[in-house]
Amino acid sequence: MAGKFNLEDYDTVESRVKKFWEQYPSGRIHTQILHNDDNRFIVQAFVYTDREDERCVTSGMAEEIVGSSMVTKTSALEVCETSAIGRALANFTFSGNKRPSREEMEKVERYSKVKTPYAVRTLTPEQTERLEKILDMIQEINEVDALRKIWQDEKDNLDFPVRGTTIKDALNKRVQDLS
């Protein structure tokens, strides 16, 4: 999918928000966290044309996987909130010439370069439990060769977020601790 679209064709969430405030200076945007755990956030945004309105004119939702990009390792909630606001504004009248925001299309571009996109792949509870045990085990290992073996054995799971980190990051940190 990468290369089949031009990012310049898509508005940023920031530009949508700016247009909203220019047109509705007494409006409001409200966000609500619908789900949060160690692996993901789901946020819903509500748009009101007047801050006194009891009913929103539109809403939008977004999901973000913790650690699915460099930014989401530390700011997944913020990214998710921004995406939800962008979707809500697009659902209203601020979609510009393309419905998705530029940030959403940048995510599509990033995921298209990954063998198994995190947005598509979901761990079962058993898989999550297994990876959590590996994270715990990594902290007990004192030999770099044993850490390399885990890296090799878990190469398909290295970048999948678990407990707010990844197997790759935990291994790298442990190697650094041992150095």
| Residue 33 reports pLDDT greater than 90 | yes
The H-or-E segment that residue 15 falls in is helix 13-23
Q: Average pLDDT in the 67-71 region?
A: 77
Bigger pLDDT: 73 or 103?
Answer: 73
Q: Smallest Cα–Cα separation from 108: which of 176, 7, 31?
A: 7
Return the bridge partners of 130, or none: none
98-148 pLDDT, tens digit each:
656 656 666 666 655 554 444 445 677 888 889 889 989 998 999 888 888
First to last CA, the chain: 41
Place 2 in a pLDDT band, splitting at 50, 70 and 90. Answer: very low
Q: Could you tell me how far CA 148 lies from the centroid of its own chain? A: 28
* pLDDT for the residue 56: 94
| Residue 153 reports pLDDT greater than 80 | yes
Q: Could you tell me how far CA 33 lies from the centroid of its own chain? A: 14
Q: Average pLDDT in the 18-42 region?
A: 93
Residue 113 to residue 111: CA distance in whole angstroms: 5
Highest mean pLDDT among 4-18, 52-66, 143-157, 164-178 belongs to 52-66
| Residue 168 reports pLDDT greater than 50 | yes
Please tell me the pTM assigned to this model.
0.57
Burial category of 1 from C-beta neighbours within 10 Å (exposed 0-12, middle 13-18, buried 19 and up):
exposed
- Sorted by sequence, the CB contacts under 8 Å of residue 118 that are 6+ apart come out as 65, 68, 111, 159, 160, 161
